Structure 1
């Protein structure tokens, strides 16, 4: 589903969040096998490795960064127009930090959540916690970006 969504979109840069390092590595491999240029970052990497990945991402030579909540706070990359929660965060307070990575500096941004049947309850809890309504993705998503 991610590649089907990703292919038609013309995004500047995107951050994809997963809940585990293993999922970050798996998804990075899946995207790379389909010829998508992606970078990965998680807590098992050294700070030097993470710094190199961030430099690559900030410069725009990598347009997609797949990461854990390591990157949910404190990153300001101007060109991020899309945040995808491949997994909903385990900590509901991280949700706002994750989706807040897109559309910064006055730019338009979109956040997309991948939701399984098991995630529906968590999604409703997020809606209640943030007093908001999270809508199903429209079919014309490419036009919104």
Structure 2
């Protein structure tokens, strides 16, 4: 099949300006393109990390909430790798983002934590150093 990696993850947000600010100013994504699609009354914003990984951020009027807890079926969380977990957590805290206590992966020995975006979507930081 030849899959090389993940190109993007699509997220539908409830408050587009709030989510755009979170993913750019708090998490550090770069805006590649931003378009308002009049026919759908929807924004589509392509965001990227330095390694090329992208998030497509969408707004749709009256999009229903997705159940996520307790452990609903479907995508469980989105994980970002970081070199320094403590520095990443400190950066999130400086923006008022609360992280769960750091845990250690019982199989890899790597440290990780969870936090949420403005729509309460579960995000993870996974230390890879």
TM-score, normalised with respect to structure 2:
0.30
Compare CA radii of gyration and give the structure with the larger one.
2
TM-score, normalised with respect to structure 1:
0.28
**Relative to total residues, which structure has the larger strand share, 1 or 2?**
2
The higher relative CO (CA closer than 8 Å, separation ≥ 6) is in 1
